Structure 1
Amino acid sequence: MRSDRVRLFQTLPHACGYFADRTAQNLVIDPAAPQLDQLYGPALERGFRRAGGHLYYPYCSSCRACTPCRIDVERFTPDRTQKRCLKRNADLTVIESMAGYNAERHHLYEKYLRHRHSGGGMDEADASDFRRFLTAPWSPTLFLEIREGSRLLGVAVTDVCLHGLSAVYTFFEPEETGRSLGTFAILQQVELARRRGLPWVYLGFWIEGHPKMDYKRRFQPMQVRTAEGWRDWNTEKG
């Protein structure tokens, strides 16, 4: 990905989604670039993330809290809590499905957003919002459907790139709290990467000490991206 071939734009300051007293800005790869499908893998390697049709990287003037992170698939072994999660959900079926909108998925997505983001604007997602946020025409996306029999319990939106998977977004039945479906979805993405011989599962950004991001550090060995490149999280913490 060369700077003389790919344009980068910087967004205007906007409200930070993680800290109420901060503003945020992103670097965004030109969304009109004709080769976004080819840029995606190298962009992941450099810490970028997909949201809808945009590849972005947090680039805030006074904050560097968002740290790209990824799971080392070959070295990953579930801890005791994660093994219990797998055992607890042994009755579920995970199906690799084509990405896209349907009424069943949309109903679960709306229900999840109403529970997790009530009053924040995201809980009014219609069909076009679903498509715009979760899919892109150039993106190598599949949906991992998590089912209890015929009942849809969760969807892990997963991008399959040449050298790794990107865990884009997961939504699930909010009433099934005892199943830890978010953790289960990541474990299934790790297993999918292993089956496909892919070395990494990219989890987006980790923020030290933030309660919404703390779960990511439980997937060890995890790597974080620093100014010097990717480093093992344990090594980085020191």
Structure 2
Amino acid sequence: MGNTPAREGEDLRLFHTGLHECGYWPERQARDLVLDPRDPRLPDWYPLALGWGFRRSGDIVYRPHCASCRACTPVRIPVDAFAPNRSQRKNLRRNADVLMRICPAERTEEHLELYRRYLSTRHAGGGMDGHGGTEFDQFLVGRWSRTRFLEFRTDTPEHRLLAVAVTDMTPDALSAVYTFYDPAEADRGLGTYAILRQLQWAADEGRAHLYLGYWIAGHAKMDYKRRFRPLEAFDGRQWLPFPDEIP
């Protein structure tokens, strides 16, 4: 990657990463397009980049760009058109005892302990289960992004931490970066609940979209995203309605 800072008026540069192991299909090789992470205008470009199908990881804004695979499809929910289905309404009722608080994106020991417990259960052997505080910050906390942690806690005297939804804010949208939760509370459906509350937050503040990152055809852990309707998918040129039937 080049290291010369961009001058005013220059286009923002794009780089290809080298081949690396795919985070979703370990037997495949992946490659990404990355916006120049040294460009000081990156915070201004980020809202546009979301609309081009990019995503943030730490300080890096990237989009999968693999030679022989197009499984990663950027998806977003148009906030005003969304209405929870029967299953999602049940989820809201099931979690009626949960309190939500919007916090600065600053790691605490409580966050890290929950994150590590989540990874050791949900992603054991996936390469992330050894993450500590440094990796937490590198993955979730951007130095330039406008990010918040949505904390979900029990409505009890101890206010036990159940989940954290890392969420980026832009003028017209929210982006769901990552959610981790107490694996002992899996029956609550806290991943779904976090999206429903992010949608409500976006609606309350008049934001047009909630970006969900990538839906991945054939990947069971990503299939939940298509249950939020209406849903839009980016085909590389424009956002289109997500199909009702998947081939």
Matching residue of 2:5: none
Q: 2:181 aligns with which of 172, 180, 184?
A: 172
Q: How does 1:198-237 map to 2 (within 5 A)?
A: 198-234=207-243
In structure 1, the partner of 2:199 is 190
Which of 170, 174, 183 is matched with 1:161 structurally? 170
Greater CA drift, 41-50 or 5-14: 5-14
Q: 2: distance between equivalents of 1:170 and 1:125?
A: 15
Moved over 2 A (4+): 234-238
CA offsets 1:144-176 (integer angstroms, 9 cap, x no match): 000003100000000011111000000000010
Is 1:61 the counterpart of 2:70 in the alignment?
no
Post-superposition offset of 1:208: 2.1
Partner of 1:33: 39
Which residue of 1 is the match for residue 136 of structure 2?
Answer: 130
2:119 to 113, 116, 139: 113
1:56-87, Cα deviation, whole Å (9 max, x unpaired) = 00000111111100001101000010000000
- Cα RMSD, aligned residues only: 1.6
Distance, in Å, in 2 between the alignment partners of 1:21 and 1:121 is: 14
5+ long unaligned stretches in structure 2: 1-8
Tell me the alpha carbon deviations over residues 180-219 of structure 1, each in whole angstroms, 9 at most, x when there is no partner.
0000000011001001100100000111232111100000
Matches within 5 A, 1:4-83: 4-83=10-89
C-alpha displacement of 1:96:
0.6
Structure 1 unaligned spans of 5+: none
Q: Tell me, in whole angstroms, the C-alpha distance in 2 between the residues paired with 1:178 and 1:27.
A: 37
Is the 2:52–2:236 Cα contact (8 Å) retained in structure 1? no
- Normalising by structure 1, we get a TM-score of 0.95
In structure 1, how many angstroms separate the alpha carbons of the residues matched to 2:35 and 2:87?
38
Distance 2:217 2:125 in 1: 26
Aligned-partner SS, 2:175: strand
Number of residue pairs aligned between Structure 1 and Structure 2? 236
> Whole-Å Cα distance in 2 between the matches of residues 173 and 153 of structure 1?
5
TM-score normalized by the length of structure 2: 0.92
Question: For residue 199 of structure 1, what is the amino acid of its counterpart?
Answer: A
SS at match of 1:32: coil
8 Å CA contact 2:53–2:63 kept in 1: the answer is: yes
Q: Distance in 1 between matches of 2:245 and 2:126?
A: 35
